[in-house]
Amino acid sequence: MKTTETKLADQIANATEDHWFNPAVIGRLLANQPIYTLDRIMEMVAQIIRAQEIRHDTEWEHGRTSEGLFLAKELNKTIKAVKKKYKFENLNLPK
């Protein structure tokens, strides 16, 4: 039996493969959620960025990468820098 998280990840991955998928629409819809929900969404985004940074390093070792993986690597550097300056109390960010 799949968890809620696994089902959602599968749905997102499948939706993004559709030629008509528009990430900006998803971003706007998720941005209009209550504050608590936004915190959980940002935690999810930070976790995705961290996982993709790790993948960037692995792919780079094999002589390949993508712009998305490169962006994730740069964004994770920024997340780490912000974490050094600010103590988050409501967000559980990756190490």
The tens digit of pLDDT for each residue in 3-42 reads 999 999 999 999 999 999 999 999 999 999 999 999 999 9
Domain membership flag for residue 68: yes
Residue 16 lies in a domain: no
- Residue 62 domain boundaries: 26-85
Res 88: pLDDT: 94
C-alpha 65/C-alpha 76 separation (Å) is 16
pLDDT band at 95 (very low <50, low <70, confident <90, very high): confident
Is 2 part of any domain? no
How confident is the model over 52-82, as pLDDT tens digits?
999 999 999 999 999 999 999 999 999 999 9
Q: What's the pLDDT at 68?
A: 96
Q: How many domains does the chain have?
A: 1
Q: Which of 94, 42, 49 is nearest to 75 (CA)?
A: 49
Task: Judge contact between 91 and 82, C-beta under 8 A.
Answer: no
Q: Is residue 7 part of a domain?
A: no
Residue 34: inside a domain: yes
